[in-house]
Amino acid sequence: MRFPLSWLRELVDFDLDLDGLCHGLTMAGLEVAGVENPAAALVGCGDRLVVGRLAEVAPHPDADRLTVCRVEVGTEVAQIVCGAKNHRVGDRVAAALPGCKLPGGMKIRKAKLRGVASGGMLCSAKELGLVTTSEGILILPETVEVGQPLVAALGLDDPIIEIDLTPNRGDCLSMVGIAREVAAFAPNGRLHLPEVAAVAGDGAPPVRVTLDDEALCHRYTCRAVEGVTIGPSPAWMARRLEQVGVRPINNVVDVTNYVLFERGQPLHAFDLDRITGDEIRVRRAADGEQLTTLDGVDRPLDPERLVIADASGPVALAGVMGGASTEVGETTRRLLIEAASFDPVSIRRTAQALQLHSESSHRFERQVDRDGVIVALHRACALLGEVAGGRVVGAAVDHYPGRRPAPEIHLDLGRTGRDLGIEVDTTTATTLLTPLGFEVVTAADGVAVTVPSWRNDVERPADLVEEVARRYGYDRIPATYPKGGRPAEPPALRDRLRRRLTDVTAALGYREVVTVAFTDESRADRLKLAAADPRRGWVRVTNPIAQDQAVMRTELIGDLLQAAAHNQRRGAAALHLFEVAVCFTETGELAAEEAEHLALFACGPRTDGSWQAAAEETDFFHLKGDLDSLLTTLGVGEVAWRRSAEPFLHPGRGADLFAGDTRLGWAGELHPEVAAAFDLTGRCLIGELDVEAVAGRLSEGCAFQMIPRFPAMERDLALLCPEAVEAATLVATGRDLGGVVEAVTLFDRYQGEHVPEGMVSIGLRLRLRHGERTLTDAEADQVVADLLDRLEQAHGVRLRS
């Protein structure tokens, strides 16, 4: 909400300068976002930039494109040579006299132009910094005083204040609402709002009004005005609208906008002669109906939309925008002025569904003052008589099904004082609340407070406590510290696991990223997901803020790939990223499943941070090692790595992680085609874990084991293995021997010279230990022989010679 200081001063007296006013507004909860000074560009002009009147305009004796002007600038007459063509005798102009410094840095001096003396410059709006483009010099209204400084004549010394309002303060989307607040906190604050009285009209109203759905229309008033003459608004009204950011259109439309900003009540003016029939119905739209709104767009309607309709059909979207069929135009002579209060939820849904937000819908969504609806209608009718020559016909139509008694709330003063840390008695509460329009009377254990009709946001005692705090001053409330109480509840298992996942992954050298949960369906194509893949079960967003955020993500890896590409484009070569977040999968109509995942991404050189260490290119085994370390630290038991069929992984370079029969996730090298689709370069490693699955495999605790008393014995085996046999199978076969087998690990893999085609050399290390005595070589050799026999029988594996 932006407004000029002069408008505020017309409505309320107060003893504050601009800085004090801005501070007071901010401390009252109406945060001042900025102050615009329209005269800032003209600060170097002083009193040398004035309103002039052209007393004489003559052609230049030696230049066809120049004129020699005699300009009255108060008590003297200046001769100024001008190159513009849009001026004539009698015009008021902006005259820059010698000594004036214009916004572009030009300093005005006396000079001769083609032999004729010139004592100044007639300025255009562009040269004054008022607009970015203009043609000819600035011609001023005839009402401005000749010789007056231009800044004062145009009201450019009137600061524009912009405030950021919280959604609950719809009452302050108006000058009257802001004036009430200022009158309450400012020294010597005193309101003097415009007097509004009902304008008498002869005869019966020319239309009847029927409310088909009273739940969506709390109050509907309208009145006919005849004899209007469409034309430009008076300068004072046009200037006010420009100051609040609205373009003046004509005197009728401008009156509705003026009242909207003055009183916060949206209005709409219909051309009464273009309304079909003698009845206005406020109803839900029918299926298949359409309405062409004032912006020229055909809007399809449905029963969720509330419309204003005549005998021919909808003529306006209630509370959002009028229709083109009843638009006020140059030939309009009779008006029907509407003021109403509509259901805020209905208006918000309509505005969002049709992507049609307006000043009117903005206020209706935050609720208007129901009791003030008729006041705004009378104010508009009076202004139309003043600026458009209108005459009210008939009485006002006023349907008020949503009338409600003024809310009365009991405020416990003792609790209020404890909540705020200050003493609050009856006198204090009355002094603080009464200036805001509340009525306060003494009651048992506190006060009974009657809420004014314009404060729709005050519904319960906590709201009144906030009002007391605002008026008392947040900066005056003493700082207090909480006293000891019972300790906080320990976090749930899922929360502890999430924190542990984050801490351990960060300790492994990964950096956390945070991405939004919205994406687009094309991501599934870039990830090469099959048509039947459950990760194409999108949860769709009803009203997306952008087309590329129309569905909820079903996996995390796509977000990490986009984040990695963003960083690569900015020169980051080594990236190790992770995210813990929720994915969504549709399980039925209006039903979805949420699953928390951990995703990892790695690419580029990898070092331990030491200057002595040579950098290694990140590969699958680095990522596998990180995941093994992560799961071991978390307390997950043994995991098995099996060949993966994920379509976005490089064939043969991806694996699924299993703990028993539970699939925990997957990891591997990114498919080159997928990398290209996401604009990634180099070898990229990715992985994703299902946090729910990991949580189900966590061990209850750590079991203590005695430090071994007897030494271990190790045997390294070089095995020739068919290429189709997974190394994990060999490790599992070794572990299945049990007994003295303490560990089986893979330490080498080789394929190339001296290895038969279709075979691969696998290095397997066995660690053997007996718990009660030292193993003998013969016993160790027997374990090795048993393992080799099993491997050859089951998998065709033999010892490499």
| The predicted structure's pLDDT at residue 496 | 86
How do residues 517-574 score in pLDDT, each as one tens digit?
999 999 999 999 999 999 999 999 988 888 889 999 999 999 999 999 999 999 998 9
Beta carbons within 10 angstroms of residue 789's beta carbon: 10
Dist. CA 653–CA 622, nearest whole Å = 13
Beta carbons within 10 angstroms of residue 212's beta carbon: 12
Is the model's pLDDT at 217 over the cut of 80? yes
Q: How confident is the model at residue 749 (pLDDT cuts 50, 70, 90)?
A: confident
Q: How confident is the model at residue 484 (pLDDT cuts 50, 70, 90)?
A: low
Contact 669, 681 (CB under 8 A): no
* Rounded mean pLDDT, 219-239: 92
Q: In this prediction, what percent of the chain has a pLDDT beyond 70?
A: 97
Dist. CA 439–CA 408, nearest whole Å = 9
| The predicted structure's pLDDT at residue 40 | 79
Q: Which among 449, 490, 495, 503 is positioned nearest to 471, based on CA atoms?
A: 449
Give the phi and the psi of residue 789 in degrees, each rounded to 5: -65, -45
How do residues 352-394 score in pLDDT, each as one tens digit?
999 999 999 999 999 999 999 999 999 999 999 999 999 999 8
* Rounded mean pLDDT, 581-588: 90
| The predicted structure's pLDDT at residue 612 | 65
Is the model's pLDDT at 131 over the cut of 90? no
Is the model's pLDDT at 724 over the cut of 90? no
Lowest mean pLDDT among 445-449, 566-570, 587-591: 587-591
Beta carbons within 10 angstroms of residue 633's beta carbon: 15
| The predicted structure's pLDDT at residue 35 | 93
Q: How confident is the model at residue 610 (pLDDT cuts 50, 70, 90)?
A: low
Average pLDDT, the chain: 91
Contact 665, 688 (CB under 8 A): yes
How do residues 180-210 score in pLDDT, each as one tens digit?
999 999 999 999 999 998 877 777 889 999 9
| The predicted structure's pLDDT at residue 155 | 79
Element (H, E) at 664: strand 662-670
Dist. CA 155–CA 547, nearest whole Å = 44
Dist. CA 308–CA 314, nearest whole Å = 6
Is the model's pLDDT at 611 over the cut of 70? no
Contact 459, 411 (CB under 8 A): no
Dist. CA 375–CA 197, nearest whole Å = 8
| The predicted structure's pLDDT at residue 485 | 65
pTM score of the predicted model: 0.65
Q: How confident is the model at residue 603 (pLDDT cuts 50, 70, 90)?
A: very high
Helix (H, G, I), strand (E, B) or coil at 43: coil
Which residues touch 77 (CB under 8 Å, ≥6 apart)? 55, 70, 71
Helix (H, G, I), strand (E, B) or coil at 194: coil
Is the model's pLDDT at 689 over the cut of 90? yes
| The predicted structure's pLDDT at residue 609 | 60
Q: In this prediction, what percent of the chain has a pLDDT beyond 90?
A: 73
Is the model's pLDDT at 495 over the cut of 90? no
* Rounded mean pLDDT, 414-432: 93
